[in-house]
Amino acid sequence: MPKGVEKDALSNSGTANNLSNSLTANAANIYGGLEPTLQAEATHPQGLLPTQKAMMNTAAQQSAGGSTSGAIGSGRLYAARTRNAGGAKAAIGQGVRQAGQNLSNAAVGTELASAKLANEQQQSGLHGLQSLYGTELGEGENALGISNQALGISNQAAQQNPWDKYVLPASLDVVKAAAAAAGGMV
């Protein structure tokens, strides 16, 4: 029967095993909820939602339309002031081309922003999965390490105290035999 340090070490080993089981169960519950979300994020990142893209593209189109309208209005005003209808055509054409280029840049910018966001989501999902795995595995292993450490202490205690293991039980047998011979006085 274990005594002293050996008994405490065995008790600590049991506590560590219970802790390991508890941490593993907690990790499984958390993992079960987060893993599918992170997996989807890592394998199928969305980027910008279609409604977000539509709003960004609509804003760019409205801006381009306003620029085009402003260029045409300014050209007409210039033509009226100078009484030279031909002089405004180049300025209007340049304004319309610039508005079209700005609209194109905005559309490409929207797609680039969506791709960048999708990449960030993917990296976030992968990082989250790595963290889940490390936490789940690491904490359970740490608790089992504590159990192993406690068992090692228990074994050392048993080996370092031969009195408890060999001499004490033999002494108790002698005392019991003497008591039996004396009429059961122990």
DSSP characters for 79-146?
HHHHT-TTTHHHHHHHHHHHHHHHHHHHHHHHHHHHHHHHHHHHHHHHHHHHHHHHHHHHHHHHHHHH
Structure tokens at 174: 């002698």
Identify the CA nearest to 95 among candidates 123, 76, 82, 115: 76
Structure tokens at 138: 């690491």
Total domain count, the chain = 1
Q: Is residue 186 part of a domain?
A: no
Identify the CA nearest to 139 among candidates 58, 43, 40, 27: 27
- Domain with 135, as residue range(s), is 4-181
Q: Is residue 19 part of a domain?
A: yes
Q: Which pLDDT score, from 0 to 100, does residue 1 have? A: 42
What are the pLDDT tens digits along the chain (186 aa)? 456 666 666 676 777 777 777 777 777 777 777 778 888 888 888 888 889 888 888 888 888 888 888 888 888 888 888 888 777 787 788 888 888 888 888 888 888 898 898 888 888 888 887 776 666 556 666 666 666 666 666 666 556 555 555 555 665 565 566 666 655 554
Q: Which pLDDT score, from 0 to 100, does residue 63 have? A: 84
Q: Is residue 141 part of a domain?
A: yes
- Geometric angle at alpha carbon 36, from 34 and 41, rounded to 5°: 95
Distance separating alpha carbons of residues 103 and 95, to the nearest angstrom:
12
Query: In 44-87, which ranges are continuous DSSP H helix?
Result: 50-82
The 10s digit of each residue's pLDDT in 108-160 is 888 889 889 888 888 888 888 777 666 655 666 666 666 666 666 666 655 65
pTM of the model: 0.49
Q: Which pLDDT score, from 0 to 100, does residue 186 have? A: 47
